[in-house]
Amino acid sequence: MPGPIALVGSGEYLPVMAPVEAALLAGRPARYVQLPTAAAEEGPGSVARWVALGAEQAQRLGVEAVPVMVLDRVTADVEAMAQLVSGAGLVYLSGGSPGYLADTLRDTRVWSAIVEEWQNGAALAGCSAGAMALTDWVPDIRRPAADPRPGLGLLPTLRVMPHFDRLMAWAPQMVESMAAQVPPGMTLVGIDEETAIVSDGTDLRRWAVHGRQSAWLFTPTGRTPFGAGQEIVL
């Protein structure tokens, strides 16, 4: 059976989100697979920062950190990289550029390995860029007029806006514009920073909220906040 999926607004690898990551790993192999792919365009310094943060979190949780250094499509299609995903308890896609992340992993050996591990029971999480890339809708937040790019399509009927509280403070008109463009059959969810929504993987209509803030379900009549412990039904 598939493992759980977590979509995180921000805070991957930080102590504040350790309880969420610990719950995802509970009962699964102590092998924490971490992909810094989304940060590759920001340069080696940014990638190294994500690797270090991931190692620190794994140490807090008492599990093995397994960085998978997929930084371009060439490395994403290397069989040795795909094999690193094998036996994962949790696979985590961290932050950066969601479009670059999706374009790099799509139709590669590494992405196939991630999906296979998830289908066999491993947990899968994406934070910020990682959360957006797991859907099939990746807008360019820095260039709102640009056409959205396709994501990895694991959650094809869901649209995600991470860092939602910050986005509302920074560009509320952009949020309203994106909300107005949601087509029938699609659901838009905003996820505040240091907050996650988690599905058990067997019913992707049901998501529990974890963390210190809220997740926001958009409907034709507005948006509704859900706090920690509440369930969102899409």
Sign of CA dihedral 134, 13, 8, 22: positive
Sign of CA pseudo-dihedral 13, 19, 21, 26:
positive
Reported as a single tens digit per residue, the pLDDT across 41-89 is 999 999 999 999 999 999 999 999 999 999 999 999 999 999 999 999 9
* CATH class belonging to 5-157+193-204: alpha beta
Q: What are the CA-CA distances from residue 178 to residues 35, 119, 139 (Å)?
A: 28, 31, 9
Question: Which tens digits make up the pLDDT trace of 109-155?
Answer: 999 999 999 999 999 999 999 999 999 999 877 776 678 889 999 99
